[in-house]
Structure 1
Amino acid sequence: MILMEDIVREGHPSLRKVAEEVTFPIDANEKKLCTDLLEYLINSQNDDVCERYGLRPGIGLAAPQVNVSKRIFALHIEEEGKKPLSFVAINPKIVSHSVEKTYLTSGEGCLSVDRDVDGFVPRYARITVKAFNPDGIEFKMRLKGLPAIAFQHELDHLNGIMFYDHIDASAPYKNIPDATPFERD
């Protein structure tokens, strides 16, 4: 089970490296990593488990955040009135995106960042993505809203980019052209 102490924090070199492509079939360690990443997210959204193990809630976690430089991340998002979205993405790519942008009005956070970072992070409002599941089967999906934002945040981790790299330091709350703000419940 991944705990907070297993998650590397900003300044750690693995967060700034471009992660390596994964070859299939994946080995036992990679399979366990996939399971562990998703399990952390599910556990972190359960108040009792969070309290018992001192977890911070998260909706996405990438392999570089646990010091493994591989192109793997997990998302687990439960939104009111919507079907839960829960998957592991291996070698993920954005194959198309909208011109329209979006951003979380509350700003983004990260399990690897132990401080609040003020500012809007511009993201594509809608994306079409491709990735492989742990069994090596390719999947394609269209995402919008919070799932699209989270996918882009985790994909950035695989490219050595932190969310705050997108914030304009001189004007963190400046208007983002062609953007529709996204309010998180």
Structure 2
Amino acid sequence: MAIRRILTVNNPADLAVLKTVCTPVEAVTDDVRALMDDMLETMYDAPGIGLAAVQVGDTRRIVVMDLGDGGEDGEAPESEDARKPNPRFFINPEILWASEETAPYEEGCLSIPEYFDEVQRPARIRLRYLNRDGETVEEEAEGLYAVCVQHEIDHLNGVLFIDHLSRLRRDRAMTRVKKVMRERVAA
């Protein structure tokens, strides 16, 4: 396993990749599983709770996620130390249905460092994907799980969470990210 570089919106070449619509995975192979292992290690190192393959420069429709124990009911763990790992793997995920009811959630993104903003998304969804073993799974999601799945599927479609914001808030996000990245380079 290896930690990979996470692409960020402040780099024009990275942004071009992040805006790519990803291609379906033909078959779940050892290569795909190795990529997912690298993605999981990268996500934990960042730290984050979800990561799409495109965020590490691979344009296949692959997502890893870990909301810890209990994250699926919409409740985030009280602290990082209290979390028990619960890694999830999504290959070719798709949303089959979304509720008309929406819910706000403050989102962040490893590709948009240290910027958080509220996004309205469907409160519940039904999704289908292939798991790590290549088996088809269909399930419903709500709360944090639904938000995270929708956020990561957006990545696979070339959409960033800031694309759901007003132009003013998007510009504010980009300004903030550029400042954060300059500070990281200077440190």
Distance in 1 separating the partners of 2:166 and 2:34: 38
1:109 aligns with 2:122: no
Contact 1:103–1:123 under 8 Å retained in 2: yes
Post-superposition offset of 1:70: 0.2
CA distances 1:88-127 after superposition (whole Å, capped 9, x unpaired): 10000011111111121xx21111112425x421111001
Specify the SS of the correspondent of 1:69: coil
Identity %: 35
Q: Which amino acid aligns with 2:130?
A: F
1:94 maps to what in 2? 95
Post-superposition offset of 1:171: 7.1
Distance 1:85 1:127, change over 3 A: farther
Distance 1:7 1:140, change over 3 A: same
Distance in 2 separating the partners of 1:114 and 1:157: 15
Post-superposition offset of 1:29: 2.1
Specify the SS of the correspondent of 2:134: coil
1:16 aligns with 2:19: yes
TM-score by length of 2: 0.74
2:35 maps to what in 1? 33
Contact 2:125–2:142 under 8 Å retained in 1: yes
Distance 1:130 1:110, change over 3 A: same
Specify the SS of the correspondent of 1:19: coil
In proportion to residue count, which structure has more helix? 2
1:66 aligns with 2:64: no
In terms of mean alpha carbon deviation, does 65-74 or 162-171 score higher?
162-171
Post-superposition offset of 1:148: 0.4
Contact 1:131–1:140 under 8 Å retained in 2: yes
Q: Which amino acid aligns with 1:40?
A: T
Q: Structure 2 residue aligned with 1:141, among 139, 142, 145?
A: 139
Distance in 1 separating the partners of 2:149 and 2:6: 19
Contact 1:38–1:87 under 8 Å retained in 2: no
Specify the SS of the correspondent of 2:41: helix
Specify the SS of the correspondent of 1:73: strand
Distance in 2 separating the partners of 1:96 and 1:84: 28
Gaps of 5+ in 2: 69-75, 171-187
Post-superposition offset of 1:31: 1.6
Q: Cα RMSD over matched residues?
A: 2.3
Aligned residues: 155
Specify the SS of the correspondent of 2:93: strand
Q: Which amino acid aligns with 1:167?
A: L
1:166 aligns with 2:164: yes
Post-superposition offset of 1:6: 1.2
Specify the SS of the correspondent of 2:112: coil
Specify the SS of the correspondent of 2:59: coil
Distance in 1 separating the partners of 2:33 and 2:87: 16
